[in-house]
A and B are shown apart, each in its own frame.
Chain A
Amino acid sequence: SAVISQKPSRDICQRGTSLTIQCQVDSQVTMMFWYRQQPGQSLTLIATANQGSEATYESGFVIDKFPISRPNLTFSTLTVSNMSPEDSSIYLCSVGLAGTYEQYFGPGTRLTVT
């Protein structure tokens, strides 16, 4: 299994600012994923982040808005740039482990943009 922590757990930000969310895993992993969950909605994949390569973004998400870093096998960051109230969501990271079938999710970062 994997234990995932995220920082911050929640934040309230002003329109036009940026927030960087950190995801830390207790073991080395190849694949990391970032999801968004808007209020009352299901999870939507933002991007896949592999160590040593550029993140792969899903349709509707762009690097300028959601830049991702993956400096090593245990850590990743997602930045939400130039925020608007529509970015108010829970942001979650997840990982897949070699030899297992399931994904493990972090507790999420609850972002409110005013």
Chain B
Amino acid sequence: DAKTTQPPSMDCAEGRAANLPCNHSTISGNEYVYWYRQIHSQGPQYIIHGLKNNETNEMASLIITEDRKSSTLILPHATLRDTAVYYCIATHSGGYQKVTFGIGTKLQVIP
């Protein structure tokens, strides 16, 4: 898996968009970018993944730069329930492959 770099913590006001950056400058052409989050005292939860196109689902949007060296996870309207540690992972396949978790970004949504 390619190494990923994330800020250790971020704050976001409730109702505003949370933009979580991730650097993965050594990502290879067939590695996907995955995002998981871990709410306190729970198991990690899959959010979204992408290869090179921007992706959107009911939880979030994923913006990947054209050179694929970085990406941004966007939570469009952050709520208090979005307070969690967010992990950005670059891997060939998230389902059948082991997942290597980094430190992640601790997102605190503030009322």
Residues of A whose CB lies within 8 Å of any CB of B are 4, 30-31, 33, 42-45, 48, 58, 92, 94, 96-98, 100-108, 110
Residue of A42, A45, A107, A108 touching B102 (CB-CB under 8 A) = A42
State how many residues of chain B have any CB contact under 8 Å with chain A: 22
B105 to chain A, nearest CB (A): 11
8 nearest CB pairs, A to B: A105-B43, A102-B46, A96-B95, A43-B101, A42-B101, A96-B96, A105-B44, A101-B95
User: Bound state CA distance, A108 and B42, in angstroms?
Assistant: 7
B102: chain A residues at CB < 8 Å are: 42
**What's the Cα separation between A100 and B97 when bound, in Å?**
11
Q: Which residues of A contact B110 (CB under 8 A)?
A: none
B interface, by DSSP: helix, strand, loop or mixed? loop
- 22 CB-based A-B contacts, threshold 8 Å: A4-B43, A31-B96, A33-B99, A42-B101, A42-B102, A42-B104, A43-B44, A45-B98, A45-B99, A45-B100, A94-B43, A96-B95, A98-B95, A102-B34, A102-B49, A102-B95, A103-B44, A105-B44, A105-B45, A106-B43, A107-B43, A110-B41
Query: A103 touching B101 by the CB < 8 A rule?
Result: no
Q: Which chain A positions have C-beta within 8 A of B104?
A: 42
**CA–CA, A100 to B18, complex, Å?**
27
Contacts of A30 in B (CB 8 A): 96
Q: Does B94 contact A103, Cβ atoms closer than 8 Å?
A: yes
B94 touches A101 (CB 8 A): yes
Contacts of A104 in B (CB 8 A): 46
